[in-house]
Structures are given as structure tokens and as C-alpha cells.
Amino acid sequence: MNKNSKIYVAGHTGLVGSAIWKNLQLKGYTNLIGKTIDELDLMNPAAVDKFFASEKPEYVFLAAAKVGGIVANNTYRGQFIYENLMIQNNVIHHAYKYNVKKLLFLGSTCIYPKEAPQPMPEDSLLTSPLEYTNEPYAIAKIAGIKMCESYNIQYGTNFLSVMPTNLYGPNDNFDLEKSHVLPALMRKIYLGKCIENNNWDAIRTDLNKRPVEGINGIATNHEILQILAKYGIRRPLGGIEGGFTVEIWGSGKPLREFLWSEELADACVYLMEKVNFKDVAGQNQKEIRNTHINIGTGKEISIKDLAFLIKEKIGFKGELVFNKEKPDGTMRKLTDVSKLHSLGWHHKIEIEEGIEKMFRWYTAQ
């Protein structure tokens, strides 16, 4: 890519897209295109065709997606598979149709089987059944990988696929129902601290920015406590005055790997600058498979240890309660990042530093 190359970042306002946009700007790229959902509906083929025909981007980062945590994935199964298939089919196909020089498609490590070897190498894809709770989303992402591979093989395109591990960072989704585990834990524990400190100004500020089921900062204290209790932020029965608990889904035993979103962005821009499809296609031209690239840290932490780390960083004095009646999801999801390392990129920000950075960002908003 040249510094004046026309680059389209699909999903430029989201967690990943905004980080990629920022990284490109910091590296001196000046010709960036971003469209909000109101400006361009990526599920509308005619609208996407018109956009590519008029803008003619040279490079595309496909970071737009319907995403969520274990609850959202399991609840909105039809929505997740339909919307993700529509978005990626439209963008990938029109990138080919309008001769985009290079595209980078972002998936997720949930593409790997529930019983995949740990750490998960790229060639474990499609070797056994997926985790049930996020199967529709995973199938959509697998389709995206295969679409990129297939277009490369048939049409000679230069489309890459990357599979990030669990991400967190600026512009994350902090919705208590639909967000991923780390931002959900951070917000719940932060609100728990605000309640135990009787800091209603902070609670109302938080709810005004991110209402919960329509409850915002103008609601009564009783209404606010009711809605927060629904999401596990409550005073325990028979508990001492002022004592609060934060409930966390599952046993806390599953292990997860987390990558700071701005580091993912750096990896994505690095790969777009330095790596082509032929570099990951291998020597076997008869069967080209598993050309996608894992992006992660290669390190993991249990949900329980993560929760207590967030509690410590935020300063919540209450109790964390693990609800073992709720699903855990996959017990372990560690990426094998040896391919990524061989291509020359390594992470730098560890989870302790990342949580501090994210909490500073969240409270500054």
C-alpha cells in the first residue's frame, strides 16, 4: 500500500475498525474511506455495488460484522448467521468485481472445533464439531475464509483472512446483554463499585451514555437497582447494608486469551503491507487449505482470574459470585500464533496493562 492508496475500512466505527483506522492514520495513510450503517447498508447488494463502482477502493479491511458474547450468540442465532453472511458475501464479491488489489477479512477463533487441540493451529479448522452456542456465527466466518480462498484460487485475487482471538479496547461494546466477556465484566464491576460507594452521579452518567433496556440516568434509584439486579449487580439476600455482589455467568474455569484491539489493528496493517496470499498458500497447489492467520498473544487466563484482576484494578470491594447454572462455553481457546510469528509480528501489551488502559478509556468517555 502507498500512503495515498484509497483504503476502505468496512466497520470503521467499531472496536476493530476504529483501531485499524487509527493505526492507518498514525502510519501516514491519508486516503481513507469509512461509511456508517446509515450511509451504506452492507447487507444491501445494490448499495454495495454502487459504493464500489463510485469509490473504487484499492484496499479493503473487512471489519464489519454482527458480533456479541455467548448470550447474544446463542439467543440471536438466525440473525448472526444471516447478517454476517450477507455482509461478507457482498463486500468480498464486490471487491473482486471492482478489482480491489487486496482485501483482509476478519473472522474469529470461534471457527475452531470445540475439542480442537490446544493451542489451536490453523489446520485444525473443520476437523470436528463446533461449540454449539456460537455455531451460526462460526459457520458464517468459516464461509468467509473459504470465500476468500476460493476467489483467490479461481480468480487470482489477493484476499487474506485473519482470525483474532478475544479482543478488548477503545470503542468496545459494553452492552450488558450482548457484549463480550471482558467489557461486560468491566462494566458490571464498575457499576457495582459505584453503587457500593453510593456514587449515583457516576451511575447516572454511565446509564445516560449506555442505557440498559431503556433505563437511563433519569430513572429512579429503585428502577436503576432493579435493572442492574437483573444483570447480576445486587445486594445479597441477608447481606450487610452496602454489601454488593456481581454475578458472573459460568464456573469461571474456562480459559481465554485476550488481545488489545489496537495491537490487532497493527497486526492487520502489517499483514496488508507485507504479506500476500501466495505467502500463506503453501506449496501444495492441488489442495490449498487453511490459509488464514491466527492473531493473538499465545497466552491465556481463566475467567475467574480475569474477573478478580478487573475487580482489583477497579477497586470493587464486594463479592464476585459465579453462577454455575449458566453455560461456560468452550473450556479453552488458545491460539497457536507460530504462523503469525513466522511472518514477523508479535504482541507487546499484556492483559494487566490492557485492563488499566481500557478502564481509563471507559471512565474518560
Residues designated catalytic: 137
Q: Indicate the helix (H) or strand (E) that contains 1.
A: none
Alpha helices in the chain (DSSP H): 15-26, 45-55, 70-75, 77-97, 135-155, 181-196, 200-209, 221-230, 261-274, 277-280, 303-314, 338-342, 351-364
Residue type, 356: E
**CA Rg, the chain, in Å?**
21
Nearest to 196 by CA among 230, 240, 231: 240
- Rounded CA-CA distance 243/260 in Å is 32
Which cell goes with 101?
Answer: 488489489
Residue 180, number of CB atoms within 10 A of its CB: 23
Helix axes of 181-196 and 303-314: crossing angle, nearest 10 degrees: 40
Cβ-based neighbours of 15, under 8 Å, separated by 6 or more: 167, 168, 169, 170, 171, 172, 173, 261
Question: What's the gap between Cα 219 and its chain centre?
Answer: 31
Q: What are the DSSP calls for 44-69, one per residue?
A: -HHHHHHHHHHH--SEEEE-------
